[in-house]
Amino acid sequence: MLHSRQAIADFVLRQEPRIRELARRKLSAQVRSAFGSDDVFSTIVRRLDALAAAGQVRAESEAQLWALIRGIVENVVLQRLRLIESTSCRSGEDAEFWSMVSADLRRTSDDTGAFVLIFRMLATLTDNEERQIFTLRLRGVSHKVIGQQVGCSAEAARQRWSTIMESLRRRDWETQDERS
């Protein structure tokens, strides 16, 4: 019944207010401060469209399509929450850095802005190993595990991380357009 990309798109457009309401209900206050239902809705639409384009949606009824949409909403909200939590509640030697990153993420207007910010940070790093270390620290991985991943000691990973943080602190991540 709801196999084609067009049929799914038509359903989503008809049900947009309901999908947005579902997203709003799932967003906690913490997540809402950084990502609104508009952002979550657009992400849901993109993911659902990608699944439909790949022929991976085989909903035989609207109820099955709603179950898929609810699952996508849950995943999107969880990913946003994890991104915020992973940067805002860090302690230790790099807590100040993560607090800065968290504040920058909260200032982004939507999901795309947040990922563009992280992408810009990654793009300024000079090599793949630095990008790998940043990505692992973003996920909360310890220096010991990072050292094992990149083939160095925990102390060497910590020193590399300190250099990366210092380099990233000196950057101005907002563009002129975003400040206006």
Of residues 89 and 170, more confidently modeled: 170
Q: Where are the domains of the chain?
A: 5-88, 95-179
Find out whether 27 and 73 touch, Cβ atoms under 8 Å. Answer: no
pLDDT, tens only, 47-71: 899 999 998 998 889 999 999 999 9
Predicted model pTM: 0.54
Residue 170's contacts (CB-CB under 8 Å, 6 or more residues apart) are none
Whole-number percent of the chain with pLDDT over 70: 81
Among the four given CATH numbers 1.10.3470, 3.30.1360, 1.10.10, 1.10.357, the one describing domain 95-179: 1.10.10
Q: Return the pLDDT at 114.
A: 76
